[in-house]
Structure 1
Amino acid sequence: MDLSQIIIKVFGGEQKCASCVNLPTSKETAEWLEAAISRKFPDQLFSIEYVDIFSPTEGENQKFVLQILEEDLFYPVVVINNEIVAEGNPRLKDIYEIMEQHGYRDVV
């Protein structure tokens, strides 16, 4: 099977958004997603990138940063292959389903 590598971007900030007080930081969410996805889909390539929405960005990342700030989206915002798939507290089940749609298989 020809499996293209999924790119997952987690957009957020060091400071939590006002309604996310009891949730992990965006950076912690990125690390948590990486660990959980690695366990679910071992030996299947993917990459996770954390993007600080308060640091200068350019290109496609800038488009999402502007959208997050202008639309007051709850962060972290999870983007898979340039599509927003989660806002605020991401659900692993939803992320797994999207990855499976792209050919990833649970080996358990």
Structure 2
Amino acid sequence: MEMKQITIKVFGGEQKCASCVNLPSSKETAEWLEAAISRKYPDQLFTIEYIDIFSSVEGENQKFAHQIVEEELFYPVVVINDEIVAEGNPRLKDIYAIMELNGYKDAG
């Protein structure tokens, strides 16, 4: 299977949601995901985008930002291929599974 480069979008805000006080910030989560995924899939390209839902969000990202605020989802919200795959504290196992469905090969 040919690898399809994916973009992982991490939606969140500087201020943590009420239920997420003990968790890392959305931006820290994006950085942690990038480091973990880079170790698991070295030399395989992917992109991590951090999107602040409280700043001016435009285009397709606006739909998700609006949904997070309106439905009071726990953020960070992780979106891959226009699908919400994690809310609050993301599980690496779930994200790895999606990456492998897109052709990424585990280096371990």
TM-score by length of 2: 0.98
**CA distances 1:5-55 after superposition (whole Å, capped 9, x unpaired):** 100000000010000010000000000000000000000000000000000
- Give the residue type in structure 2 aligned to 1:57: V
Structure 2 residue runs without a partner (length 5+): none
TM-score by length of 1: 0.98
Counterpart of 1:29 in structure 2 is 29
* SS of 2:49 mapped into structure 1: strand
Residue 60 of structure 2 corresponds to residue 55 of structure 1: no
Counterpart of 1:72 in structure 2 is 72
Q: Once superposed, which parts of structure 1, at least 4 consecutive aligned residues long, lie more than 4 Å away?
A: none
Of all paired residues, the percent bearing the same amino acid is 81
Structure 1 residue runs without a partner (length 5+): none
- Give the residue type in structure 1 aligned to 2:26: S
**CA distances 1:81-103 after superposition (whole Å, capped 9, x unpaired):** 11100000000000000100111
